[in-house]
Structure 1
Amino acid sequence: MASKLQIQGDESVVLRVTHSNMKSFSSDVRFSLSMTLEAVKDKLWKKCGTSVDSMRLQLYDDGRSKLCDLSDNMKPLGFYHPQDGFILHVIDLDPSSVTSGGWLEDTSLVEKYTISDEAFDKLDGTFRKFKDKIAHQNPSAHEKKISDDYMEDFCANIKIGDRCKVEPGEKRGVVKYVGRAENLPHGFWVGVQYDEPLGKNDGMVKGIRYFDCPPLHGAMVRPDKVEVGDFPEADPFEEDEI
């Protein structure tokens, strides 16, 4: 009597849907208890890809114990007394179904489309052709490379042991290295030991040691940021006159 009242009231139930061919497929779906099993199958077809004619349904309780087969397409879902949290298991009977063989779960089974470089070059509207067009129109702006001698002229008056000031921030220190750095972008670099822990390393950069200094006192900077001169180390005890 209670189930008939539920059906007449068009109440609904949330069932966990699983699938015989897709082990990872699991979805919580709300169904009206007044829906016929044929309507339930049609709703499931749109979610899992198994056709209505190839679908068999089983009902399990929330402890995964099988309760019954849902075999009569004309009966309403409520006839089988499902409850929230029960499992509605879809069995796909079609051996040629799109869900068979794991195609919808294992992308490694899908044949990948490939194209040769020669065929790709014949296509119009590709990013490769767009990039080549930009490079042809403005070659200086496309993949501009830094030369090995980049900023070498800024190093003419910078020597190891010079006191210096580094911008930004007017950080003071001493020059510890001048030259190229094989694991940094091309061009010349200046290694500086700061007077205070304002740096990023101890003279080792990306596994290569360029100089020695206390931790967090070292930095590799471009020479245009370095000014050498009479920049004595600041006296931390120096006080302003009163």
Structure 2
Amino acid sequence: MVATEDMRVLREYVTAPSSGSQQQAESTVVLHVTHSNLKLQMMELRFDLHTSVKGLKEKLSTHCGTSPPAMVLQLLDSSGQGPVALQDDYRQLGYYSPYDGQTLHIMDLDPHSFSAHGWLEDTSKVEKFVMSDEAYSQRENTYKKYKEQKQKEDPDWTAEKELCQRRGVPYVKPEAKKTAGEDDFAGEAELLEVGQRCGCTPAGRRGTIRYIGKVDGLPGGFWVGVEYDEPLGKNDGSVKGKRYFQCSSNYGSFVRPDKVEMGDFPAIDELDDLDEI
């Protein structure tokens, strides 16, 4: 009978629902930890209810940089109200009846604390180590020297190429970026005419051609200034203060001639899509 009862208790323990991947011990509690000098909530920490307040402070000091003598601990409920001060260093945490989800707030009374004035959160306050180019060039086993050696062996060496070789996959050299020439898209531009209706790909926007030519401030070659039927553009017919055509704000756009098709593109009437009633 005893063995049967033991098996029942064991089965209930194993199959009991749990909020985590492991059963939480009855003598522990999970608390949200906040700090008077830190903007963000630190973390959720699990504490043993038998730990003294002094031991609690020593554990927390490793997380926040506040020395235990400078700490004042408070327990807050879920709404942040009703602070209970943990005043007695020799009382156990369980004496204050904390429960899962409560907030344990750390007040740091040390004006010279590591956590004061943002020293643990604002990285701009930390002095950065800067090595001179001369000192770096004297160091051995640097990436710079490794790269120089590899490029002596193979002028086309790149880190990407070496990674492909290590993985045993073919390396495809990227094509050199083409610089737009002054006559690019000239042929496509000749097929278009200012004042004609058009459609623009790939978005299928409709409008009227207002300008054909080159545009200062954009890559070389020919552009088409289009006045859209709807406010789907990026400008009012001007680029960097220079006007090429006139239209309302956000109705104008400049696109490459190969993206513009001239033809019968009537303005879309939303009423055409409605059923008769």
TM > 0.5 fold call: yes
> Which of 180, 191, 197 in structure 2 is aligned with 1:146?
180
1:81 aligns with 2:115: no
Please, which runs of 5 or more residues in structure 2 have no aligned partner? 1-24, 162-171, 269-277
Per the alignment, in what secondary structure is the counterpart of residue 70 of structure 1? coil
Q: 1: distance between equivalents of 2:259 and 2:40?
A: 59
After superposition, the Cα gap between the structure-2 partners of 1:192 and 1:37, relative to the gap in structure 1 and judged at 3 Å, is closer
Please, which runs of 5 or more residues in structure 1 have no aligned partner? 1-8, 237-242
Shift of the alpha carbon at 1:182? 1.8
Could you tell me the TM-score, scaled by structure 1's length? Answer: 0.56
Q: 2: distance between equivalents of 1:18 and 1:174?
A: 60
After superposition, the Cα gap between the structure-2 partners of 1:43 and 1:59, relative to the gap in structure 1 and judged at 3 Å, is closer
Q: 1: distance between equivalents of 2:226 and 2:178?
A: 28
Q: 2: distance between equivalents of 1:87 and 1:171?
A: 58
Per the alignment, in what secondary structure is the counterpart of residue 220 of structure 1? strand
> Which of 185, 200, 204 in structure 1 is aligned with 2:237?
204
8 Å contact kept, 1:168–1:225: yes
Matches within 5 A, 1:152-171: 152-156=186-190, 158-160=192-194, 163=196, 166=199, 168=201
Supply the AA of the counterpart residue of 1:204. Answer: G
After superposition, the Cα gap between the structure-2 partners of 1:83 and 1:173, relative to the gap in structure 1 and judged at 3 Å, is closer
Structure with more strand by fraction: 1
Shift of the alpha carbon at 1:34? 1.5
Per the alignment, in what secondary structure is the counterpart of residue 223 of structure 2? strand
1:58 aligns with 2:72: yes
> Which of 182, 194, 206 in structure 1 is aligned with 2:216?
182
RMSD across aligned positions (CA): 5.0
Shift of the alpha carbon at 1:210? 1.9
Q: 2: distance between equivalents of 1:143 and 1:204?
A: 29
The alignment of Structure 1 onto Structure 2 pairs a total of residues equal to: 211
Q: Which residue of 1 aligns with 2:16?
A: none
Per the alignment, in what secondary structure is the counterpart of residue 210 of structure 2? strand
Shift of the alpha carbon at 1:16? 5.7
> Which of 69, 93, 102 in structure 1 is aligned with 2:87?
69
Question: What per-residue deviation string (whole Å, max 9, x for no partner) do you get for residues 177-209 of structure 1?
Answer: 221112433221123457xx2684586155653
Could you tell me the TM-score, scaled by structure 2's length? Answer: 0.51
8 Å contact kept, 2:208–2:226: yes
Per the alignment, in what secondary structure is the counterpart of residue 141 of structure 1? coil
1:110 aligns with 2:126: yes
After superposition, the Cα gap between the structure-2 partners of 1:120 and 1:152, relative to the gap in structure 1 and judged at 3 Å, is farther
Shift of the alpha carbon at 1:110? 0.0
